[in-house]
Chain A
Amino acid sequence: MAPPSGLHQSAIPSDFEKPFPALVRSSTVPASLKSHRADPSHLAPEDAYTPISPPRQPGLFDTGLDTRPRHIRRNDTSRSRSRRRKRFQKLLWVKQSYPDNYTDQATFLENLQRNPRVQPYDFWPLVADSTVILQHVCSVIIFIVCFVGIFQERVSPVSVVGWGSFATFLGWLLWDWWMTQEDQTGAGESGDMTRSMRDGRIYREYRPPRRQDSLPGPSLHQPLPNNISTASISSTSNLPSAASSTTNLLQYNHRPNPTPHQHHDNTSHNSTAPKLLTPGHSHSRSVSSVHSATSQNSANSPTSTRGPNHDSDPDSLPNTRAYLRVSTIKSAILIYFTLLGLSPILKSLTRSTSSDSIWAMSFWLLAINIFFFDYSGGTPSHISGPHKTKKMPVASLSTNAALMASTVLASRLPSTGQVFSLTLFSIEVFGLFPVFRSYARHRSWRYHFLLTVLLVLGAGGGVGIILGEAPATSWPWKRGLAGMVIGCLISAVAIGGCSWWLIGMQKYKNEIYGPWDPARPIIISRRHWDDD
């Protein structure tokens, strides 16, 4: 057998014929059962917050050499052969002079890493981030409060939906104003983008058209139409024709909103996709073919709301805005009348079901809504980069669950007007409001804080009022005030306590990485062919 020409002296079969040397007990075995720390291969609690490799006692087998390269390559074969026992090598092809269960102190688990990528949390940023959850929980509570108010006939449904619609209108005005501002500041940028993308056309050809992950423009509002329309399909699925018409209407209702963003997108990106996807709200795959056909039409036909904006340059922005506003109002009216038409059907939807089932069901649906809500808040322009954000596959589940909950709750109500009010209100709360919230958060921290305070006060006050006994003759402001105070206290304690708890639990974090983990391939010229 030809030895490998002096390159590797270790693979000489004579090594294996040496008798196994008598071994001392390795200190990896726990010397006493009391101190588990004596065993460096096992993890001890204190390892959780000391992100270093386990301490290594000098091994009993050390031959006195300090450096232990993994691949020993010495040309002086005669010297090493004269050594009685060679160092242990972590290699399989070498015939070792050690038994198979020999555990080398120096090299065993040398590549183990503990908590290599842990970033410690800070208290106040954590509190600030958790307000997103608080906002959503509060808006759900407000919705429930409104339902209870309507159900117990304390509040007139007209006032609920009136105030809700008024707030929505205000929010829309605010949003529209922000949009106008952004368009004015962003007009120059988009022109630059157009130019730069003209140069980068070759690169663009590599992209499949439906990859929309890295849109540079703020694509916050695009998922909304899909979510809403899906929800209405699911809620009105007993009526195919009505469903399709609702889809249509909702499509038109919300299609105008994203258009200013699409203006950015279309100039900067070759978005031939009829559907616009964002990673935050994943588009719902349950959208029916009717829906997709509709959206295709609306995207492609020049008479649709979106058509004329395709090639508009910054000069035509005011026209676009006005056009958008008109079409938004138009679609709002359309959705209003559709819901009005559907309300009698919804009213009798669950007449044969007992109320207990409805309460339980709506509780679980709202719980699903809270737990599966996409708290990352869409993809704001400054976060979405070339790196892929992790998609939440069940984001539309949240909205669908909430709208279903509102539908079954509305079907408990006795009159058509109440049903209509609650359904419209639920669309405002669960469909439109989250979008506004996440946009306000990315717009300014002050808006976000103000909104949080308002929501907490509203939810606390509402719960306080609702928990009173029979419908009070006068406005129960005392109860409401107490509720607000208690709500503020509870939310402060909850946010602070949970943040503190989470920080306290960080010491239990123990991530283990090592060579056994699947490597993460770094692929630069990634062609987006994978489906997910």
Chain B
Amino acid sequence: MAPTYNIAMVSDFFYPQPGGVESHIYQLSTKLMDRGHKVIIITHAYEGRTGVRYLTNGLKVYHVPFLVIFRSATFPTVFSFFPIFRNIVLRERIDIVHGHASLSNFCHEAILHARTMGLRTVFTDHSLFGFADAASILTNKLLKFTLSDVDHVICVSHTCKENTVLRASLDPLMVSVIPNAVVAENFKPLSPSENPSYPPPARPLGPHDIITIVVISRLFYNKGTDLLTAAIPRILENHPNTRFIIAGSGPKSIDLEQMIEQNVLQDRVEMLGPIRHEEVRDVMVRGHIYLHPSLTEAFGTVIVEAASCGLYVVCTQVGGIPEVLPSHMTVFAKPEEDDLVAATGRAIASMRANKVRTELFHAQVREMYSWENVAVRTERVYNGICGAISEGEFYGYYEGDNANNSWSATRGRSGVQSFALIDRLKRYYGCGIWAGKLFCLCVIVDYLLFLFLELWFPREVIDVCPDWPRKKRNDLSRE
């Protein structure tokens, strides 16, 4: 019987704010609870959302009051989160702290404090960063600080793994690739009984039937809205019986509107404005092709959702997108106007020729991506860092490997990160000439703070809260 853990998911980003990281945390937590673990979520207080909340399935959310500075990221005060974090961790008897999103200050602080307290830590990276601009350099240094002493890192795609390994100078073996998933039940294609006004997708498309191209994205520069603005008039000019549905809002929406007015395309391009995540499926099933012109994307959940809805996907070949879907569901384009137009043309042609069996997509996507699978794979990471599966099995050693080889500065002799302060300082010291010393200073202060808290608020006086009744792990047979 595999052990079960008490896991704390820590991130700045959680419901009620909508978004990809938020739903990732929620879905993963729910599925881990289904597998018999205890999961709590620690995030900062949102407006109208404070204190402790229980979500469906007994998922407990701590909304910690904290100063929010930018796009719901909290103010980075390296130590001020420690007292309440320690309290929560002791109260809930946490074994593993799992932080999400590299722009979340909560996550970084929690990983630092958790290591000081002697807990296992996991970090999940959801985004890609360059190396050139000043903001990236700062973020990367911060990430290096946090990830110098983390037990394992999870990335959502192989590109993301390469990026994170380079940014934080990690051993690639302690970085796992576990993709996002979709709730396939929420992204079903249209059934004929549901809405008779739209033609069911299974019906062969004639040469004069209208093909609808759907675009759902925030209209920002890095989502490729400029490409979209340039490509739409040319696509509509080349293909008479097509139309666009664009959902989403952002600073670039004014460009799209100007393009529509200038080319008099009001009857062929429909702009829906911002839509809620629940409505995404209803918009998607109105179309035949999903166009995703993004310029950078770690995973691209939305193209999986589109494929799950039975849409043929046209997307730019950037970031982790080429890894996400098989090529019979997608047409790839270079991030160039000409190529995007050509790729969309190819997609329209093969839709008209009925070469694409979009009615099979939903079942295939459901096979590829499911949160249960993500939870199983994440559980293996937890087992590996807690020593439930052997070091050799987790990191890939032979038992008879020579002794020199099985020791490295990043991992202790047991295959898991050593908690000794001197070992931790060794790891932080390598971060840079100045940064290394600064980080060591931070770690020492954090440790002193920990000792102080142990004296001032002893563990004995902190109540242990009763657990929500745990689920029996009933799906072991599925593994």
Chain A residues close to B by CB (< 8 Å):
1-2, 4-5, 7-8, 11, 13, 20, 22-26, 28-33, 41-42, 70-71, 90-93, 99-103, 107-109, 111-112, 511-512, 514-527, 529-530
A524 to B394, CA, bound (A): 50
* Listed A/B pairs (7) with beta-carbon separation below 8 Å: A11-B364, A92-B177, A108-B172, A515-B159, A518-B318, A524-B230, A526-B226
List of A residues within 8 angstroms of B254 by Cβ: 529
From known contacts A520-B335, A521-B295, A525-B230, infer whether A514 and B398 are also in contact, taking CB-CB under 8 Å. no
Would B326 and A32 count as touching, CB distance under 8 A? no
Would B360 and A24 count as touching, CB distance under 8 A? no
- Partner pick for A1 among B165, B363, B398, CB 8 A cutoff: B363
- Partner pick for A11 among B169, B368, B409, CB 8 A cutoff: B368
- Whole-angstrom distance from the CB of A395 to the nearest CB of chain B? 20
Would B396 and A514 count as touching, CB distance under 8 A? no
List of A residues within 8 angstroms of B174 by Cβ: 101
- Whole-angstrom distance from the CB of B413 to the nearest CB of chain A? 14
From known contacts A1-B367, A25-B398, A525-B230, infer whether A516 and B128 are also in contact, taking CB-CB under 8 Å. yes
Would B178 and A100 count as touching, CB distance under 8 A? yes
From known contacts A92-B324, A521-B295, infer whether A31 and B405 are also in contact, taking CB-CB under 8 Å. yes
Q: What 1/0 flags go to B33-74 for Cβ under 8 Å of A? A: 000000000000000000000000000000000000000000
Would A100 and B396 count as touching, CB distance under 8 A? no
- Whole-angstrom distance from the CB of B62 to the nearest CB of chain A? 29
A265 to B101, CA, bound (A): 51
Asked if B272 is at the interface of the complex by the 8 Å CB criterion, the answer is no
Which single residue of chain A is at the shortest CB-CB distance from B398? A24
A92 to B254, CA, bound (A): 36
List of B residues within 8 angstroms of A107 by Cβ: 158
Which single residue of chain A is at the shortest CB-CB distance from B325? A93
From known contacts A28-B173, A102-B396, A516-B162, infer whether A523 and B337 are also in contact, taking CB-CB under 8 Å. yes
From known contacts A11-B368, A42-B169, A516-B129, infer whether A92 and B380 are also in contact, taking CB-CB under 8 Å. no
List of B residues within 8 angstroms of A112 by Cβ: 162, 166
Would A11 and B132 count as touching, CB distance under 8 A? no
List of B residues within 8 angstroms of A521 by Cβ: 224, 226-227, 295, 335-337
Would B408 and A41 count as touching, CB distance under 8 A? no
Interface centre among A20, A100, A511, A520 (most CB of B within 10 A): A100
Which single residue of chain A is at the shortest CB-CB distance from B233? A525
Q: What 1/0 flags go to B172-183 for Cβ under 8 Å of A? A: 111111110000
Q: What 1/0 flags go to B286-328 for Cβ under 8 Å of A? A: 0000000001101100000000000000001011101111111
- Partner pick for A100 among B262, B322, B381, B392, CB 8 A cutoff: B381
List of B residues within 8 angstroms of A4 by Cβ: 326, 328, 360, 364
List of B residues within 8 angstroms of A93 by Cβ: 323-326, 368-369
Which single residue of chain A is at the shortest CB-CB distance from B176? A100
Would B377 and A100 count as touching, CB distance under 8 A? yes
Which single residue of chain B is at the shortest CB-CB distance from A33? B409
From known contacts A29-B171, A516-B129, A518-B295, infer whether A527 and B397 are also in contact, taking CB-CB under 8 Å. no
Would A26 and B396 count as touching, CB distance under 8 A? yes
List of B residues within 8 angstroms of A100 by Cβ: 154, 176-178, 377, 380-381
A170 to B364, CA, bound (A): 80
List of B residues within 8 angstroms of A20 by Cβ: 393
Q: What 1/0 flags go to B139-177 for Cβ under 8 Å of A? A: 000000000000010100111101101100101111111
Would B173 and A103 count as touching, CB distance under 8 A? yes
- Whole-angstrom distance from the CB of A50 to the nearest CB of chain B? 17
A518 to B297, CA, bound (A): 8
List of B residues within 8 angstroms of A29 by Cβ: 171, 173, 405, 408
Asked if B350 is at the interface of the complex by the 8 Å CB criterion, the answer is no
Asked if B193 is at the interface of the complex by the 8 Å CB criterion, the answer is no
Closest 4 CB pairs of A and B: A23-B396, A100-B176, A519-B335, A516-B128
Asked if B258 is at the interface of the complex by the 8 Å CB criterion, the answer is yes
Asked if B131 is at the interface of the complex by the 8 Å CB criterion, the answer is yes
